[in-house]
Amino acid sequence: MLKNGIFNKKSPNKIFIKDDIFTKKYSYIGKNNKAQEYIQLIAGSIKSDGFTVFHCSGTQVADIMAYLARLWVKIYNKSENFDERKKALADLEWWFFQANPAGRAGASMGDALSMIAQINLGIKIRETYVHQDLVALSSTLEDYRETRAKEFKTNDSPQLAEPALKGGIDLNPVDNALKIKNNGGEIKFNIDPAMLEQLKSAPGFVPMIISIQPMTDLRTFLGINAVSH
């Protein structure tokens, strides 16, 4: 990637055609499972420290989006090796920023999609702003993967991180062992025989919906309001 305003020529992944042009060819699977090619292009002057990065052409966006869909499925596939899932996430970011399907909103949208996947993988969300799209556009895919692999910080275990708070009812029997204190005596239940007889002839219970309200805040509903990332 660009370092101190100039290319890092020591990287084995970079191919320089001329002093002012950098290109690299990539292959990927687009729509209808057809192999496609994409050429990354960065132009500028090493002497003047000025560079221009380019997105893909408009005709390639649909094919790259089809490839992104495959990467998204791989990220969420728990049967995949955890490192491969993180690699797929880095690839997703890089290809999304190359395609920039959302125009001027592309940088924030790509970042948001990545953070959703990072939460799923148990990766700690960064706390500072980064021009992630510019990092991707000025890096080869191989260099970008290497950089992101170091930045994706997870728990020691490769399993998905457990949320700090859980919603719903905890039905784990280990945590719900019934404790009875009776001072060594018998436990007596005082039940009115007439009421018991009445309950025996009860026809059953009919559920009744009292009210239906819209869910406006998913995080509160799931009980993860206080989770800090």
With 0-12 CB in 10 A as exposed, 13-18 as middle and 19+ as buried, what is 101?
middle
Rg (the chain; Cα; Å): 28
pLDDT tens for each residue of 71-91? 999 999 999 999 999 999 999
Please tell me the predicted confidence (pLDDT) of residue 35. 94
Closest CA to 110 of 121, 102, 118: 102
pLDDT of residue 157: 43
Residue 5: its pLDDT value, please?
36
pTM: 0.59
* Number of domains composing the chain: 1
What local confidence, expressed as pLDDT, does residue 117 receive?
92
pLDDT digit string, tens, across residues 117-165 = 999 899 988 888 888 998 999 899 999 999 998 899 875 544 444 444 5
Q: Is residue 2 part of a domain?
A: no
Given a contact cutoff of 8 angstroms between Cβ atoms, the answer to whether 106 and 100 are in contact is yes
- Residue 100 within a domain: yes
pLDDT band, very low/low/confident/very high, at 171 (cuts 50, 70, 90):
low
Tell me, yes or no, whether 8 lies in a domain.
no
61 to 26, 97, 103, 208: CA distances (angstroms): 14, 11, 11, 51
Specify if 156 maps to a domain.
yes
Instruction: Report the candidate in 26, 50, 45, 48 with the shortest Cα–Cα distance to residue 37.
Output: 26
202 assigned to some structural domain? yes
pLDDT in tens, 102-122: 887 888 899 999 999 999 899
Residue 34 domain flag: no
What is the domain range of residue 106? 57-229
* pLDDT at 145 (0 to 100): 93
Q: Is the pLDDT of residue 170 over 70?
A: no
Q: pLDDT value at position 8? A: 43
Residue 20 lies in a domain: no
In a domain, 18, yes or no: no
